[in-house]
Amino acid sequence: MFVQLRKTVVTEGNADQVVERFSKPGIIEQQEGFIDATVMVKKVRRGEEEVLVQIRWESEEFWKKWEKSDAHIAGHKANMGKPKPEYIIHSEGGLYDVKTVKTAIR
């Protein structure tokens, strides 16, 4: 499994805007190898909120295929040159190979 994480720090009261963007149906759900996307919100400190988006893929190869796809590239090109929203303080991402997963024993 391969995981893409994106952490976005926003001004207080604006986490819902990021959550909404990543919660809408999109073409990523139709991509081969896509498992799921999880969106979480953490209250960081007064004045800020943190939104963490975790996107799980069956493998790094499926993720690479998505990153290079015409649909993904077109989505980014549509936003080129546009200023980032004022409520975004900081954004960063990371890519991870999943080495182990524990599940509940029932």
The answer to the question of residue 103 being in a domain is: no
Other beta carbons less than 10 A from residue 91's beta carbon: 13
pLDDT-based confidence at 74, cuts 50/70/90?
confident
Q: What is the DSSP string of 9-55?
A: EEETT-HHHHHHHHHS--GGGGSTTEEEEEEEEEEEETTEEEEEEEE
The answer to the question of residue 104 being in a domain is: no
Q: How many distinct structural domains can be found in the chain?
A: 1
The answer to the question of residue 56 being in a domain is: yes
pLDDT in tens, 19-63: 998 999 989 999 999 999 999 999 777 889 999 999 999 999 999
Q: Distance between CA atoms of 56 and 49, rounded to whole angstroms? A: 23
The answer to the question of residue 25 being in a domain is: yes
Q: Which domain holds residue 59?
A: 2-97
The answer to the question of residue 52 being in a domain is: yes
Pick from 94, 102, 106, 104: nearest CA to 2? 94
The answer to the question of residue 102 being in a domain is: no
CA distances, 68 to each of 2, 8, 34, 75 (Å):
16, 23, 14, 12
The answer to the question of residue 11 being in a domain is: yes
Token pair for residue 78?
Answer: 């549509």
CATH number reported for the structural domain that contains residue 72 in this entry: 3.30.70.100
pTM of the prediction? 0.87
The answer to the question of residue 79 being in a domain is: yes
